[in-house]
């Protein structure tokens, strides 16, 4: 029986996060708070003996991973880029004001925030709704999202040895979607910048050990 532990870390705050702009496939650098978020995550993970580390190809995830590994026994040069771990693409809505966009997309259906949509529709149907309302059709629907994300997890797990602990620097909706797929945990609670979510994969079966851990013990 092979078991691999995955530590998913949300990147530190970016300037687009700070300004409440939708950030999926567009990117922005970390703020001072974002650098502190990453450093705090690194301190909390310093004693975890990672066998491998991955980050999405977004600079915000790469920078976060670099800071985390600076405090870890795994050398920073070991960091691998995995585009599969990108954030959801919001297509036409990228870079727009969060409040205005959530109102435009969700309010006709009675949902006034992104968290309301996730709680009322599920995160899977929320992706589908954004895709349906994107005039260009570029926003990812749930099937498209998972068609790129699951192979990324498969590659990471296939490359690991039994007992390996692996760090993955990724994004909010990516983490929420993963937790939704593999557990019944309430993901309407937003993912904090720099928080840690842990999964255990045993013979291909995923189990969420904890979600959005910002302060508690990291095991």
pLDDT, tens digit, 9 for 90 and up, residues 28-44: 999 999 999 999 999 99
Measured at the CA of 7, the angle between CA 82 and CA 139, to 5 degrees, comes to: 45
Name residues whose C-beta falls within 8 Å of residue 147's C-beta, 6 or more positions apart in sequence. Answer: none
Q: How confident is the model at residue 186 (pLDDT cuts 50, 70, 90)?
A: very high
Q: How confident is the model at residue 140 (pLDDT cuts 50, 70, 90)?
A: very high
- Per-residue pLDDT, averaged over 13-22, amounts to 98
How many helices and strands, by DSSP H and E, does the chain display?
Answer: 8, 6
- Per-residue pLDDT, averaged over 79-91, amounts to 98
Residue matched to tokens 């045993």: 202
Residue matched to tokens 């760090």: 167
Q: Is 208 exposed, middle or buried (0-12, 13-18, 19+ CB in 10 A)?
A: buried
Residue 1 pLDDT > 80: no
- What phi, psi does 115 have (nearest 5°)? -65, -35
Q: Which tens digits make up the pLDDT trace of 100-136? A: 999 999 999 999 999 999 999 999 999 999 999 999 9
Give me the chain's average pLDDT, please: 97
Measured CA to CA, the distance from residue 113 to residue 168 in angstroms comes to 28
pTM: 0.97
pLDDT at site 98: 97
Measured CA to CA, the distance from residue 217 to residue 171 in angstroms comes to 21
pLDDT at site 148: 98
């Amino acid at each position: 029986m092979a078991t691999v532990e995955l530590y998913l870390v949300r990147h530190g705050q970016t300037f687009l996060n700070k300004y409440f702009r939708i950030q999926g496939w567009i990117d922005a650098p970390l703020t001072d708070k974002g650098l502190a978020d990453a450093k705090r995550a690194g301190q909390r993970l310093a004693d975890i003996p990672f066998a491998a580390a991955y980050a999405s190809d977004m600079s915000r995830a790469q920078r976060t991973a670099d800071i985390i590994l600076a405090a870890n026994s795994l050398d920073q040069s070991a960091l691998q880029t995995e585009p599969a771990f990108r954030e959801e693409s919001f297509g036409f809505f990228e870079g727009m004001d969060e409040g205005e966009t959530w109102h435009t997309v969700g309010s006709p259906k009675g949902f006034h925030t992104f968290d309301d949509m996730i709680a009322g529709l599920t995160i899977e149907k929320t992706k589908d709704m954004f895709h349906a309302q994107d005039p260009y059709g570029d926003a990812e629907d749930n099937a498209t999202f998972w068609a790129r994300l699951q192979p990324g997890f498969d590659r990471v797990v296939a490359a690991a040895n039994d007992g390996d602990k692996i760090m993955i620097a990724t994004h909010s909706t990516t983490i929420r979607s993963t937790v939704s797929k593999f557990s019944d945990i309430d993901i309407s609670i937003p993912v904090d910048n720099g928080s840690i979510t842990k999964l255990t994969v045993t013979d291909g079966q995923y189990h969420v050990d904890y979600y959005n851990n910002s302060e508690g013990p990291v095991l």
